[in-house]
Structure 1
Amino acid sequence: MFLRHVLRPPPPEGDIRLRTEKAGLSRGLNSRHIRFIALGSAIGTGLFYGSSASIETGGPAVLLAYLIGGAAVFLVLRSLGEMAVANPSAGSFGEYASRHLGPLAGFLTGWTYAFEMVIVAVADVTAIGVYMGFWFPDVPRWIWVLAAVLIVGALNLVSVKVFGELEFWLSLVKIVAIVSMIIVGIVVIAFSLGTGHVHVGIDNLWNNGGFFAGGIDGWVLSFAIVMFAFGGTEIIGVTAGEAESPEKTIPSAVNSIPLRIILFYVLTLAVIMSITPWQQISDSGSPFVQIFAGVGLKSAAAVLNVVVLTAALSAINSDIFAAGRTMFGLAERGQGPAVMRRTTPNGVPWVTTLVMIGALLFGVVMNAVVPGEIFLIIASIATFATVFVWVMIMLTHVKARRAMSPEETAALKFPAPFWPYGQIITLVFMTAVLVLLGFEEDTRVALEVGVVWLALLTVVFFLAVRRKAGTDPQSVPSTDEDAGAVNTVKEERAEVSG
């Protein structure tokens, strides 16, 4: 009974005011915001902290893993970009899945993405506790985690423009810092600077057991961690609903992905492993900080620690935004609690933002109870959720494209490349990554949690969503034409209530 109440369908046609007062998201994100939100999602804890685990598993060959994984993610984002530009009003890829694959697929995709953002955000706040240990090793980690949750959560409640501006400046700090670190790192390598305790040189990439020092099996297993680093890039599809000119901003953001991967992942990690042999990089902190501390540049290490803190805050900022908008969209389709449709006068879905803040407080508890093991567990679960969402995006795109006529395909403003073989190869690759999670004991929990999560969602869908009074799950728009009709009704309602 409770589930039927909280998952009740959207208000009937006559209930105009509730719909318009509580469901209006603000289009306050411009091209600059969208581009840097995408950067903020891609450059976070997965790179600044999680890369140490991928290096430990795969050795220098992890650089190749980032290139391959990045190429697959680029195809996912191009496929998502095609749908987002064609129909930006949808607001999330969960809605695309509902239209093309059915309501259950949209329900699973939307809530798994929200779950992904919660888990990734917990990983990000956990990293903040680790980073603060660089200066305050005796202070309990959970204190810093709690402070981060409250600060970023409060900022997300202001307005979408405040969020966009905050993300712009936080991401700008990260970009400048990474470029500066690469330049300083190249200088350190070129002049063999340091204390002499470690060998500095590009030959560190192949002289310490070879390029595939972790073995082929270690390199393959590293993909399970590598893909975590790219999690959150799909936020580009979520921002389409609040972008001022999605037909321009979305392609610009998506097409910047390849250069970003080469610069921010491959080149950066190559510099790190050239300065410090890969075996000496540990998970006790950010490898970005470790390399400069290891060669005796303490002041540079301190500056970089500020940067990685900024990166983590930026990532949490994006996580809260993305999860909140996704839950808002689910509520709009009658697939989430109706209260999640409520927004502030500034167009911020405040209920969903508070839900995210509450979920992050769970991360505070986890950091107080199991501070040592939490990150790998959380990262593995986040990888499952992330890759599952990517698989659903690709399946949605394949179904949508196959339903198009040749004329409709030719009219696409931002078509995904390499159709259809690139999409098929990407689907196979993503599925293989999910299977890889079961090969290691440390990551196997991700599959277990993931299967239980999907099973629970399926039960909730059939017990609550399908049985809602007066709601047929097939009433969810299944085509762009249907969606356009729904959007027209919304606009007419807004005019009437105004």
Structure 2
Amino acid sequence: MHPAGDRPSTTQETGLRRALTGRQLSMIGLGGAIGTGLFLGSGLAISHAGPATVLAYAACALVAFVLAWALAEMVTVHPEAGSFGAVAQRYLGPLAGFVQRWTYWTIQVIAIGGEVVACGIYLQFWWPQLPLWLPVVVCSAVVLGANAAAVRFFGTVEYWLAMVKVVAIAVFILLGVVLITVGLPRSPATGFGNLTEHGGWLPHGVSGLFLAMVFVLFSYVGTEVVAVTAAESENPARDIPRAARRMVVRLVLFYVLAMAVVLTVVPWTTTAARGGTIEASPFVRVFADAGVPAAATITNFVVITAALSSANTNLYLTTRMLHSLARDRYAPAWTGRVSRAGVPRNALLLSALGLALAATLSATAADSAYIALFGVSVFGALVVWILILVTHWAFRRAGADRDAPARLWGAPYTSGLAALFLCAVLVSTAFIEGLEAAWLAGVPFFALLVVVFLVMRRLRPDCSPPDSRPE
């Protein structure tokens, strides 16, 4: 049984082109999920859990896997623009579709702003005399150009940007294993002492491990990226499940193994205290011990590539979400138009304005306005994930999964447990120092979205699309 009012998102209807290959989808997923945090160390998580941070990464990977597979199941049945936001509208109603898509657009715009500012800061590592705004503008132009071109060109650019950090992580893990076990030219073998010394494996107890999970979970935000590409995939039924599986497996290997190397090579107390500078990166330590010349320079190049890749993918996401909202009359109609190349460039333009705002605030008001944006981002990301899992429950209840080429094992129990975990994390943010802004800014933001939706429905009854919920 398919939902009533089903409006399949064909290329002819939306103007989007099905041009993304399976290998591009896999790299786009990695590009959105792996940012700069892994390369510069996850100081907050490590400071709470110590060596047990690797367990936090493994546990959160299970949640990411459930989410990715639930998404793959839904979007292969409904491979349309708007992805999980459009599916939420079908099974949870117009309000859910409106709130989820506008929330996702907002949090990704904030993320893009942070990434391009990070690119500027890392470029200053080489040219400290540069004013920050100049490299930020240059990096913004690069990602805008990649997104304004045909989607196949975007996929190619993102494939190679993501490939750089994938190769860097793989080399880091291999060199790290050698350093730990037999040693490198400039350093004897470290052994495994750092995992049990300096306070033991779990220096702050189980509570510290749970607090670390709160921070680690955000490392996996971006797992949902592959689902958004469904409307432009050459063969979504085949490629989306395959890309989701490969992406999550690679994320688990990269995050868990890379963090295990970091925590084994460098004492956790040192990593937690150093901060996020290039010189403090564990990657620099391992590359330098391997005799790699200019280790800091190479690491800086990889970090810049990682930031550009993340910004590039996130800009793609915001553009497609806005295009989907316009199709459902929840955004200005002009943002739904596409170019001859099949790119919603008007939606890209509006998303770029948000990028400029987020980047400006992150650079000039880090202690005031931007902390509110950070709060909206944290709160919004968790709510979006929870809504995805609730949508999957409604999707299964409607029996739509019978046509799905990929089905989540153990659902609805696995998806229910993942949703409960996310709810616990969301509640805990209100009591964690540094994350109070999540509730202080997030709740008013969602209240505003609901009010805007209700006002739009009252003032413009035609803004609401036909009911597309299941019969």
TM-score, L = length of structure 2:
0.89
The secondary structure found in structure 2 opposite 1:443 is coil
Give the counterpart letter for 2:26 in structure 1. Answer: R
Aligned counterpart, 1:28: 19
Aligned counterpart, 2:270: 280
Report sequence identity in percent.
35
Seen in structure 2, the aligned counterparts of structure 1 residues 261 and 21 have a Cα distance that, compared at 3 Å, is: closer
- Deviation beyond 6 Å, 4+ runs, structure 1: 19-22, 372-377
Q: Is the 8 A contact 1:128 1:309 kept in 2?
A: yes
Aligned counterpart, 2:285: 291
Aligned counterpart, 2:216: 226
Q: Paired residue for 2:243, among 237, 253, 256?
A: 253
Number of matched residues?
Answer: 457
Q: CA deviation at 1:192?
A: 4.0
Distance in structure 2 (CA, Å) of the matches to 1:375 and 1:201:
42
Seen in structure 2, the aligned counterparts of structure 1 residues 135 and 293 have a Cα distance that, compared at 3 Å, is: farther
Give the counterpart letter for 2:448 in structure 1. Answer: L
Q: Is the 8 A contact 1:377 1:442 kept in 2?
A: no
Aligned counterpart, 2:146: 155
Q: Cα deviation per residue 1:53-85 (whole Å; 9 max; x = unaligned)? A: 322332221111111111011101111110111
Q: Does 1:61 align with 2:55?
A: no
Aligned positions of 1:98-117 closer than 5 A: 98-117=89-108
Aligned counterpart, 2:453: 461
Q: CA deviation at 1:231?
A: 1.0
Q: What is the Cα-based RMSD across aligned positions, in Å?
A: 2.7
Seen in structure 2, the aligned counterparts of structure 1 residues 20 and 165 have a Cα distance that, compared at 3 Å, is: closer
Q: Is the 8 A contact 2:172 2:283 kept in 1?
A: no
Aligned counterpart, 2:466: 475
Distance in structure 2 (CA, Å) of the matches to 1:75 and 1:302:
37
Give the counterpart letter for 2:295 in structure 1. Answer: A
Q: CA deviation at 1:306?
A: 0.8
Aligned positions of 1:47-446 closer than 5 A: 47-49=38-40, 51-137=42-128, 139-193=130-184, 200-281=190-271, 282-285=274-277, 287-292=281-286, 299-370=294-365, 381-404=376-399, 409-446=401-438
The secondary structure found in structure 2 opposite 1:71 is helix
Q: Is the 8 A contact 1:289 1:305 kept in 2?
A: no
Distance in structure 1 (CA, Å) of the matches to 2:36 and 2:454:
36
Distance in structure 1 (CA, Å) of the matches to 2:231 and 2:90:
16
Q: CA deviation at 1:132?
A: 2.7
Q: Is the 8 A contact 1:146 1:364 kept in 2?
A: no
Seen in structure 2, the aligned counterparts of structure 1 residues 421 and 22 have a Cα distance that, compared at 3 Å, is: closer
Q: Is the 8 A contact 1:26 1:242 kept in 2?
A: yes
Distance in structure 1 (CA, Å) of the matches to 2:135 and 2:366:
12
Distance in structure 1 (CA, Å) of the matches to 2:118 and 2:372:
13
Instruction: Note the residue ranges of structure 1 that are not aligned, 5 or more in a row.
Output: 1-18, 482-498
Range with greater deviation from structure 2 (337-346 or 293-302): 293-302
Instruction: Note the residue ranges of structure 2 that are not aligned, 5 or more in a row.
Output: 1-9
Q: Is the 8 A contact 2:375 2:440 kept in 1?
A: no
Q: Cα deviation per residue 1:88-107 (whole Å; 9 max; x = unaligned)? A: 13541111111100100110
Distance in structure 2 (CA, Å) of the matches to 1:244 and 1:140:
43
Q: Is the 8 A contact 1:292 1:298 kept in 2?
A: no
Q: Is the 8 A contact 2:139 2:308 kept in 1?
A: yes
Distance in structure 2 (CA, Å) of the matches to 1:443 and 1:91:
29
The secondary structure found in structure 2 opposite 1:88 is coil
Distance in structure 2 (CA, Å) of the matches to 1:268 and 1:374:
34
Range with greater deviation from structure 2 (394-403 or 291-300): 291-300
Give the counterpart letter for 2:257 in structure 1. Answer: L
Distance in structure 1 (CA, Å) of the matches to 2:428 and 2:323:
33
Give the counterpart letter for 1:164 in structure 2. Answer: G
Range with greater deviation from structure 2 (322-331 or 81-90): 81-90
Q: CA deviation at 1:262?
A: 2.9
Give the counterpart letter for 1:236 in structure 2. Answer: V
Distance in structure 2 (CA, Å) of the matches to 1:141 and 1:292:
29
Distance in structure 2 (CA, Å) of the matches to 1:299 and 1:319:
30
Q: CA deviation at 1:137?
A: 4.2
Q: CA deviation at 1:272?
A: 1.4
The secondary structure found in structure 1 opposite 2:435 is helix
Distance in structure 1 (CA, Å) of the matches to 2:53 and 2:282:
16
Q: Is the 8 A contact 1:288 1:304 kept in 2?
A: no
Q: CA deviation at 1:199?
A: 9.2
Q: Is the 8 A contact 1:43 1:264 kept in 2?
A: no
Distance in structure 1 (CA, Å) of the matches to 2:425 and 2:169:
28
Distance in structure 1 (CA, Å) of the matches to 2:369 and 2:173:
30
Q: CA deviation at 1:361?
A: 1.3
Seen in structure 2, the aligned counterparts of structure 1 residues 391 and 331 have a Cα distance that, compared at 3 Å, is: same
